[in-house]
A and B are shown apart, each in its own frame.
Chain A
Amino acid sequence: MSSKISRRRFLAGSAAGAALVMHPGKKAFASGSFSGFPDGMGVLVDLTRCVGCRTCEAACNKEQKLPEPALPFDDYSVFDEIHHGNQKRRTTDKAYTIVNRYEPEGSDQPLYRKIQCNHCNEPACLTSCFVGAYTKTPEGAVIYDQHVCVGCRNCMIACPFHIPAYTYHSVLNPVIKKCIFCYDTRLKEGRPPACVESCPQQVMTFGKRKDLMKIARERIRKNPKKYIDHVYGEHEVGGTGWFYISSAPFAEAGFDEDLPKEPIINNVKDFLAMVPVVLVVWPALFTGFHLLATKGKSHGHGDDHSNDKQEGH
């Protein structure tokens, strides 16, 4: 009888333990098939329309109350800047959006590309954050809570688009800085972000992601000579809120075309799936090994040197 009770107790304990450890894994699995909130907003960026006027950079700077840049926004020499030997400008803690110029092969027209957070459907930054600072809002923005940021910078490692920046030079309160889709000031009220509204060329179209995807496809279908047949961000890393159509191959405008079509978190699942297995199986396995290996032998420690000279294997 007593053995029955202890067995039941053991099983209950194991189940509780398993439930506890399954939780993170399960959450990650459930989110695997997540393809964005149904009414999430997005932005379609048509690279063919951009003339590189940098109005969007200025609008972002004003809206987000960022410090004044070293060179004014109408100074186009920034397009010639090269950092670290071969790098064009990137987003920083003082500039959440950047426009760069590219010269595609076989074209006399330069191509401009605006970079900012792409607001992924299933963001790598969010899934890599160990304090859960990031949130993907139903409106489509990827926002973050600065008050819990520990400063591990794992989101910067995880972001496939090299977007999050860090206020390294702050002593007491260094945090992550990135585009938040103007969530606090605009998106929450259904208004487009400052950069979209400011654009004189209508490069960017704001709307529901699923509607914009139809518009993008329609533009490519109507003008197959002008556009290449690829919407960058439709499937890349599980789909992004901001996506792009272009006249030149995306690689020529600095896009990474080798990114997986699935959310980044899918790559980590093999490991996450192992976690509960190890937690549940290892104790039994190794306690069993211990009992087998020491059966009939002294369990003593330090006082048993009879087999000091034993040579095993």
Chain B
Amino acid sequence: MKKLATYGVKPHDSALKEDGSSWSLMEKLFLGLPLDQYIGQAIRNKFNWVLAVIFAIGFPVIIYRFIFSLGAVTHASYDYPWGLFLGFGLFCMVPLSASGFMLGTTVEIFGRHDFEPIERLALLNGLLGYFFAVVYLLVDLGQPWRLSYPMIYSWGPAAVLFLVGWHVATYLSVQVMEVSTAFFEWIGFQRGYEFIRKGTVGLTVSGIILSTLHQGALGALFVYAPGKVHPLWYSAPFQWLHYFISSIPAGLCMVICVSTIVIYTMKWRCDQRFIDNLDRITISLAKGAALGLITYLIMKIIAVAHDNEWAYIVTGWGVWWLFEIIVGVIVPMALLAYGAHNKLAGICRIGAFITVFGILLNRLNTALIVFNWKLYQEIPHKWEIIISITIFALYIATYRFILARLPILYKYKD
């Protein structure tokens, strides 16, 4: 598509064609290109080939998992009941998808319409992250067809996971509604668009409530395991705050990362408004993320002080903890703050990528690496890794498919 754009081919971006007639659904799906042109650009795109290879290997393994049980694709470990599917799929994807409620709050609640060009990207990032976290969950659950049990059949309301389940389900529907405005515009369902727009403030506020609680609840899940999670990563009173606060820079930085990737690989799809505003918005988001990271850093240190765990820092695990804090929190915080102060979007982008790495490291640490620190460490099964990569590739493919079509990066012309 990049190549076509250099020849002056424009993708579909408005309700009506230049001659005044309307686009058909098929034409919209093919980006307004003739079929042969569409297929030609899809085949020329090397990334499509990478995805094809991943899917060719990964989908059979996923089918294998459902025919031959979870034990066939994992170590079936009793000591590590949660492997990569939850350690990465749930605990990493959810904080990185906090962008939806962050930008929703900024634009809709605080009325900062200057962030509007990126609002829809943030909402979509939130929706897809949550949706694929649920996909990971469905692969991991022993009996995914019973997923509705905690909702309707058998309640365990005192459990943190009960809260997570309910909130992720509710929040997913809130996000579907938030993103549906873009979809309604695209298919040309004006009344649906207006109906949802009326409820925006209500949807956004419920998004904040649900996000605060389940981002925190994911942390609270590990509070159940005081003997298993290493004390430096464990804090009964502060764990939920750590998870909630770190989800703020995580979500903001994920938007910076995605917008960076988009501006380099899908510039043909971005309109001038998005391109012109992106650096300014990146710097503003970086400012917010830097503030989030400093708050998070202070909370982490307070937690160590509160439980008087200083002695652990001089152990081997302590060095690993310091690595996470310095490389995953302090370095990106400095980069983001420096970039935001001197208005250097490039530095902010580097800081954002490192922040995302830091969040991944923290969640994987708590869920897998320092979990069972008194027992032994386990490297996930190779098929578990392949399935995790496949679902992530599916996430990227869906992301790209939607970005190329719906008015997320560009404004729909009526």
Contacts and interface: CB of A to CB of B under 8 A. Distances in A.
Given A127-B159, A268-B224, A287-B201, A311 B411 contact: no
B29 interface: no
Given A149-B143, A169-B72, A259-B226, A157 B81 contact: yes
A148 B149 contact: yes
A294 interface: yes
Nearest to B287: A313
Interface stretch (B11-19, B39-47, B51-59, B212-220): B212-220
Contacts of B199: none
Interface string B145-172: 0110110011111111111110000000
A27 B226 CA distance: 22
B212 A282 contact: yes
A275 B299 CA distance: 20
B108 A152 contact: no
Interface in A142-164: 145, 148-154, 156-158, 160, 162, 164
B180 to A, nearest CB: 14
B227 to A, nearest CB: 5
B150 A131 contact: yes
A153 B82 contact: yes
B70 A154 contact: no
Interface stretch (B110-118, B355-363, B387-395): B110-118
B277 interface: yes
Contacts of A267: 223-224, 226, 236
Interface in B114-142: 114, 116-117, 141-142
A301 B197 contact: yes
Contacts of A258: 227
A150 B147 contact: yes
Contacts of A274: 213, 216, 240
Interface in B209-251: 209, 212-213, 216-217, 219-228, 236-237, 239-240
B225 A158 contact: yes
Interface stretch (B20-28, B315-323, B370-378): B370-378
Contacts, number: 235
Given A160-B226, A267-B236, A275-B213, A131 B154 contact: yes
A310 B205 contact: no
A258 B374 CA distance: 11
A279 interface: yes
Nearest to A151: B142
B200 interface: yes
Contacts of B157: 23-24, 27, 132
Contacts of A270: 236-237, 240
A103 interface: no
Interface string B366-385: 00000000111010000000
A198 to B, nearest CB: 25
B376 A174 contact: no
A130 B69 contact: no
A8 to B, nearest CB: 22
B226 A86 contact: no
Contacts of B158: 24, 27-28, 31, 127, 265, 272
B280 interface: yes
A85 B372 CA distance: 14
B208 interface: yes
Q: How large is the interface on B (under 10, 10 to 19, 20 to 34, 35 or more residues)?
A: 35 or more
A169 B76 contact: yes
Interface in A258-313: 258-260, 264-265, 267-268, 270-272, 274-275, 278-279, 282-283, 286-287, 289-290, 293-294, 297, 299, 301-302, 304-305, 307-313
A84 interface: yes
B305 interface: no
Nearest to B117: A308
Given A87-B376, A133-B156, A151-B142, A158 B224 contact: yes
B67 A259 contact: no
Nearest to A282: B209
Contacts of B99: none
A157 B114 contact: no
Contact of A149 (B110, B142, B224): B142
Q: Helix, strand, loop or mixed for chain A's interface?
A: loop
B57 to A, nearest CB: 22
A307 B82 contact: no
B242 to A, nearest CB: 11
A133 B149 CA distance: 11
Contacts of A131: 146, 149-150, 153-156
A165 interface: yes
Contacts of B66: 171
A148 B142 contact: no
A90 interface: yes
Contacts of A27: 157-158
Contacts of A86: 375-376
Contacts of A31: 158
Nearest to A306: B113
B136 to A, nearest CB: 12
Nearest to B206: A283
A130 B240 contact: no
Contacts of B76: 166, 168-169
A200 B94 CA distance: 54
B195 interface: no
A10 to B, nearest CB: 16
Given A132-B154, A150-B150, A260-B226, A169 B69 contact: yes
A81 interface: no
Interface in B162-202: 162-165, 197, 200-201
B109 interface: yes
Contact of A151 (B141, B225, B376): B141
A166 B78 contact: yes
A168 B70 contact: yes
Interface of A: 23-24, 27-28, 31, 84-87, 90-92, 124, 127-133, 145, 148-154, 156-158, 160, 162, 164-166, 168-171, 173-175, 256, 258-260, 264-265, 267-268, 270-272, 274-275, 278-279, 282-283, 286-287, 289-290, 293-294, 297, 299, 301-302, 304-305, 307-313
**Which 9 A-B pairs give the minimum distances between C-beta atoms?**
A151-B142, A168-B71, A168-B76, A132-B156, A153-B81, A174-B142, A169-B71, A156-B81, A294-B111
Given A130-B162, A272-B220, 19 more contacts: A27-B158, A84-B376, A86-B376, A151-B141, A154-B159, A157-B82, A166-B76, A168-B69, A169-B72, A170-B71, A256-B374, A264-B226, A267-B226, A268-B236, A275-B163, A283-B209, A287-B201, A305-B113, A308-B277
